[in-house]
Structure 1
Amino acid sequence: MTCALTYDLIVSWERELTALTARIAGPLFTRPEPRQAFADLVRALLADVPRKNSWQLADHIGHTSAHRFEHLLDRAKWDVDALRDEVRSYVIAHLGRTDGVLIADDTAAIKKDEASVGVADQYCGATSQVENCQVMPLLTYASDAGHAFVNRRLYLPEPWAHDAERRGRAGVPQHVVFRTKPQLVIDMLTEELAASTPFRYLCADAGYGRDPHLRAFCHERTLGYVMAVPVDLPLVAVRGGTEPVGHVLDRILSLGQAGIWERRSCGTGTKGMRVYDWSAVSVTVAGQAPAPGYAHTVLIRRSASAPSEVEFFLAHALTGTALPELIDAAGMRWKIEENNEHGKDLLGLTQYQVRKWTPWHRHVTITMLALAFLAVTRAALPADADEVAGEGKDHRPLEALPR
């Protein structure tokens, strides 16, 4: 019974992947050769290939050289943003919920060369230090059904943005100008709004939560958010003037411990339930009013095992929103970390050997499709099939399809 169920599932995954790539490739490519190369590349990314560069992927799929994949990524004529739109539509069709969230974060690809587009000595979140790397801001869509990337940008540092010769060699389009990482997230949010992506909150870490322009964008468009913020975020003080958000904790602690903290889970991680102590205080952000009908709340999250470890979140939500809803949204932020991990470790998100603007976007977007297929496949698994796979639905995705 178990073996038959496993075989039936594998056959259905194969059939669904073939149908998905055929449906997307049809309008995307005018010739059959790139259509087939596209389908082969998605399948190879999903396979158990040690190093997912064009040569090893081509060898796995049975190509005599990497030429077909290299042509697909570089010289073939097709619209990569149309593929991005297809990825989003596929994710929303299967995982979309009215209470879903969009999560912004960036990840980095460490590189040895200096010619690859966007490579510079810059902060790398993976190592928490300055590295020669590319940085890519990403958007994940997450709901109770699952989570996957739906949008992407390549961060172009200022030295790159203002160097015409370097831009030309890397194929950077003329319309691309320098944008900070929060500005790139604003650009992606604008696209998600235009696409009617259903979400209740934007979630992000303090690198984005501290940006007043990103917060203002959300206020102007009446968007909810729950974003981590730094301890020096300026708030209007009770007695006038301003104070850093860190003083809120000092003030509530001075009232005594009773009733201040509420122990709650903010979701399930790889090690089980993530349980913290939480406190919430209504605040006024200095120089920034919330949208009509909305209010600002500071959430303070304290480690249950190490009380000195504290993180602050700023929530912009409808007046009267219950605390558990805001805590749940804060906990969803980690879904993009899982996508980053799975994209890199399972699908070769940063294992590309391309150097130019267009091939970079094509590789990353095709990888996004592969990750979306895994997320949708896992969401559709019956409970007993999860037991067959030996994994929980909230843990690692299905790693590969058969050759």
Structure 2
Amino acid sequence: MMTGVTAEQIAGWDAELSELTGSLGWLFNRPEPRVVFTQYVEGLLAELPKKNGWTLAERAGHVTPDRMQWLLNGSVWDADRLRDGVRSYLVKHLGDPEASLVIDDTQAQKKGTKSVGVAFQHCGLTGDVRNCQTMVMLTYAAPAGHAFIDRRLYLPEDWTTDRERCREAGIPDDVAFATKPELAVAMLKDALAADIPFGWVLADAGYGRDPGLRGFCHRRTLPYVLAVPVDLPLAGPPGKTRQPAVKRAEDLLHYAKVRAQWERRSLGDGAKGERLYDFTAFDVTVKDEAPAEGFAHWLVMRRSLHPNRRGKDGELHRETAYFLIHAPVGTTLTEIITRAGGRWRIEEDNEINKQLVGFAQYQVRKWTPWHRHVTACMLATAFLTVQHAALTAPEPDSDAPATSPAAPGKAQATGESETTD
């Protein structure tokens, strides 16, 4: 929330928004869609109970929603070029080589079978299977702020194998089935081609489990912190060969219990206060996967402070999460933990887009208008992010260690010497 804002600053925002939308006028070959596009973005940023064709048209003084609907459905302009403009705008103001690219997906619940990509599939909003659309998103998370810079609509195989259904929804004939991690790789390729400054790639286990995504990062020498499942294949024990073999990530829990030192660190403030966890790390070999030259793999384990998960034995245990790290040799555990704590930024971007600019309130069904609406929402929140960054001075690095940081595999102790969970 922005507090202590003056009337002059608000007037300045209005002028800057007009300048921003005006600078994108080259997207359109006619003056009317330029005007309606500006009205559309202004409406997304306005305090309206819902952001749909009717409410946006009413705010703009239109008698009917026809002009808003035509902007999305019928006028000639390229949503991918607008996406490029959003990315350039955000990088111009917030670009930083210390930024991270964060991958995640989000859903919009929909009725019926006509909306492009809609299907009964897992819905992260509810944690179960719902009729929804799934969008794979890419956030640019810089020290000064964060916002979406790319998007891909996931099409289940039930869609891509029915080409007539695809044509009815306006899906181009060359759009084939792609997994969510493959869509993520496509966005990373575009970010690299655009030469945007960033240092790390972050994602949850839905993406970290994919060897194709990991392999892409290895080939492109990209550092990453990826949450991974407990069955991530590993090769060999961490140390003496007489110790129990390590074949999966969860096998390291034995070593963590009996001889690992844990370091207590904060991942920043959450909804319920400071997010404190215990961390430890091991250098590992991922089966059939070699890191980039000069890089190494580590498996970081994050453990909750208190028992909060009931195991197969019926007892409460501390919940443990696993993260695979691909980073230059010598990277400190401190930096890795700080990076791992940055994934929440894309969750916040999902929430901001849905609550503030009508990200999931669209009333369009086809491929092209979906991309146009979602990308216009990205522009609106990028504008908010830039204005907020201008008001907010950088805060001191609260994660800076008081002593020399531990290297991965040599975590500093927390003062505890626990051997049981």
TM-score (norm 1): 0.91
Partner of 2:211: 212
1:332–1:65 Cα change, 3 Å: same
Shift of 1:324: 1.1
Map 1:243-262 onto structure 2 (within 5 A).
Answer: 243-255=247-259, 260-262=261-263
Percent identity of paired positions between Structure 1 and Structure 2:
54
Mapped contact 2:163–2:173 kept (Cα < 8 A)? no
Partner of 1:71: 70
Amino acid at match of 2:286: V
Q: Deviations over 1:342-401 (max 9, x none)?
A: 111111111101000000000000000001011111000156xxxxxxxxxxxxxxxxxx
Map 1:45-60 onto structure 2 (within 5 A).
Answer: 45-60=44-59
CA distance in 2, matches of 1:279, 1:4: 42
CA distance in 1, matches of 2:272, 2:138: 24
1:121–1:4 Cα change, 3 Å: closer
Partner of 1:287: 288
CA distance in 2, matches of 1:180, 1:206: 14
CA distance in 2, matches of 1:271, 1:197: 34
CA distance in 2, matches of 1:110, 1:288: 38
Map 1:61-100 onto structure 2 (within 5 A).
Answer: 61-100=60-99
Map 1:4-403 onto structure 2 (within 5 A).
Answer: 6-24=6-24, 26-238=25-237, 239=241, 243-255=247-259, 260-306=261-307, 308-382=318-392
Q: What SS class does the counterpart of residue 268 from structure 2 fall into? A: strand
Q: What SS class does the counterpart of residue 358 from structure 2 fall into? A: coil
Partner of 1:389: none
Shift of 1:4: 9.4
- In the alignment of these two chains, the number of paired residues is 377
Mapped contact 1:301–1:311 kept (Cα < 8 A)? yes
Q: What SS class does the counterpart of residue 380 from structure 1 fall into? A: helix
Mapped contact 1:91–1:376 kept (Cα < 8 A)? yes
Amino acid at match of 1:13: W
CA distance in 2, matches of 1:167, 1:237: 47
CA distance in 2, matches of 1:96, 1:276: 30
1:5–1:252 Cα change, 3 Å: closer
Q: Deviations over 1:218-274 (max 9, x none)?
A: 00111110010011111112149751101112212122xxx6111111233344432
- Flag the structure with larger Rg: 2
Amino acid at match of 2:255: R
Mapped contact 1:108–1:126 kept (Cα < 8 A)? yes
Partner of 2:313: none
CA distance in 2, matches of 1:181, 1:343: 20
Higher helix share: 1
Amino acid at match of 1:159: D
Shift of 1:33: 0.5
CA distance in 2, matches of 1:267, 1:9: 30
Q: Gaps (5+ residues) in structure 1?
A: 384-403
RMSD (CA atoms):
1.5
CA distance in 2, matches of 1:267, 1:380: 22
Mapped contact 2:86–2:149 kept (Cα < 8 A)? yes
Q: Deviations over 1:308-366 (max 9, x none)?
A: 11111101000000111111111111100000001111111111010000000000000
1:36–1:271 Cα change, 3 Å: farther
1:247–1:4 Cα change, 3 Å: closer
Q: Deviations over 1:119-160 (max 9, x none)?
A: 011111111111111000000000110000000000011010
Mapped contact 2:305–2:318 kept (Cα < 8 A)? no
Mapped contact 2:123–2:130 kept (Cα < 8 A)? yes
Q: What SS class does the counterpart of residue 290 from structure 1 fall into? A: coil
Shift of 1:5: 5.4
